Amino acid sequence: MATSRDDCLTLDQNDPLAEIGTRFMRPSGTADRSRIYMDANSIGAPPRDVLEHLRHTVEEHWGLARRRSWGEAGWLEAASTLGDGIARIVGAASGEIVVADSTTINLFKAIVGGLHLLPQRTKVVSEAANFPTDLYAAQAAIDLKGNKHTLVLAADGRDSDDEICALIDSETAIVVLSLVDYRTSRRRDLAKISGAASAAGALTVWDLSHGAGAVPIDLNSGGADFAVSCTYKYLCGGPGAPAFFFVAARHNDTLDLGLKGWLGHADQFAFELGHRPAAGARRALIGTPAVLSTIGLQAAMAIWADVDVNAAGKKHEALSNLVRDLCDQELAEFGVSVASPRNYAARGGHIALRHRGGNALVEALAKNDVICSFRTPDSIRFGVSPLTTRYVDIWDAIERFRDVVQNETWRDPKFSKLKSI
């Protein structure tokens, strides 16, 4: 383990992904006082050339080629070309992922699609600790289908995957889970739970938002049926970037996602009376793509295309373990503990630390130019990105953390008045 700042600098010098990191914007400032971003679980760094991408799209495509850009600039195909780039990162095949809509809308489509595939079954399994939007979408789909289904939730704190598997039976239509808990970062075993669902004849819908672009994910070898995810977190698509939608190719012939639109038609410009679904995940497309909102993701995926995904997984593990170990080494004596699982295989993109200062502490850290986030009741989240976080960033962030807890500056009433999101 790195026990000094110099050790961290050496790790950065030997980092095979160091050049990738330079292709993203970094805060300016002197080395010791620049702002440190530990919020890749919330919003990833902007690609350095994102403004050029944006300018090119506005001036050349929108400004000059105008309507011809739907074809010539690949505007209509972008949902699939971006999806294929993401497929490489999450273990999917070409054609199984599209980029469109928000995560919640994609969840809703996937859940409705799963319920359509198994019309006789009456149970939807999830957990109370799931991200609320996942549960809202599940309940909305159940309501829409006439309230025939029961939403069965594992109680909060049931962290063992066996406890989820025990809820899956022959009545279960779908299992809707987040791969990674948005508070504690506890990571579920996708292959184990998908296997249990499949053995019971049920389907899985995975929300990968706190894992995609951070931890190793293999959707196809894990046997996932559907998956969705934000793209603005570890994938660095930027605020407002559309989400992604995955459906395993084996469901192609029978899939009905409920909501249908012309973009998901097999022959969009035939303008037929009835809806004939497009092949693969493209049937999940509904309406006109949000072209300008995908520019950040396009710039990011151009960088991701050069990333060795295995190396990124290894680096993320090393960074995440470094936060854990430096917490033990530098912060434990001031009452800070690791709230996430200590074992990396059970941990997602961020690592949650616990301290009684809670949100006030996060605000005090922001005042010290360490940007992280708080989730009630007690998760101080450090989101580390394998592409943009440096080992020395972690060292410096933990040192500033130490300063704040040692001197108890977080107790200043001005910090408890602030409510960060």
**Which residues are near ligand PLP by CB under 6 A?**
102-104, 131, 133, 178, 182, 207, 209-210, 230, 243
Instruction: Give yes or no for a cis peptide into 377 (omega within 30° of 0).
Output: yes
Give the separation between CA 207 and CA 193, rounded to whole angstroms: 13
Q: Reply yes or no on whether 218 is catalytic.
A: no
Helix (H) or strand (E) holding 185: none
Q: How far is the CB of 95 from ligand PLP (least distance, A)?
A: 23
Q: Reply yes or no on whether 186 is catalytic.
A: no
> For every residue of 299-362, which 3-state class applies, written as one string?
HHHHHHCCCCHHHHHHHHHHHHHHHHHHHHHHHHHHCCEECCCCCHHHECCEEEEECCCHHHHH
Closest CA to 383 of 302, 320, 326, 298: 320
Q: Reply yes or no on whether 232 is catalytic.
A: yes
- Give me 338's structure tokens: 């690791």
Nearer CB in complex with ligand PLP: 109/283 = 109
Q: How far is the CB of 325 from ligand PLP (least distance, A)?
A: 26
Contact 99, 78 (CB under 8 A): yes
Q: What sections of 91-176 are H helices per DSSP?
A: 103-117, 132-144, 161-165
CA distances from 297 to 6, 79, 284 (A): 34, 11, 19
Q: How far is the CB of 63 from ligand PLP (least distance, A)?
A: 30
Q: Give residues with Cβ within 8 angstroms of 105, minimum separation 6.
A: 243
Nearer CB in complex with ligand PLP: 173/243 = 243
Q: Reply yes or no on whether 108 is catalytic.
A: no
Paired with 375 in beta bridges are 379
The residue from 109, 123, 188, 233 that is catalytic is: 233
Nearer CB in complex with ligand PLP: 105/263 = 105
Nearer CB in complex with ligand PLP: 103/294 = 103
Q: Reply yes or no on whether 225 is catalytic.
A: no
Burial class from Cβ neighbours inside 10 Å (0-12, 13-18, 19+) for residue 254 reads exposed
Contact 387, 415 (CB under 8 A): no
Q: How far is the CB of 103 from ligand PLP (least distance, A)?
A: 3
Contact 154, 214 (CB under 8 A): no
Contact 85, 170 (CB under 8 A): no
Nearer CB in complex with ligand PLP: 21/348 = 348
Q: What sections of 119-255 are H helices per DSSP?
A: 132-144, 161-165, 190-199, 219-222
Instruction: Compute and round to an integer the Cα radius of gyration of the chain.
Output: 22
Nearer CB in complex with ligand PLP: 161/207 = 207
Nearer CB in complex with ligand PLP: 207/393 = 207
Give the separation between CA 352 and CA 419, rounded to whole angstroms: 18
Active site residues per annotation: 131, 207, 232-233, 381
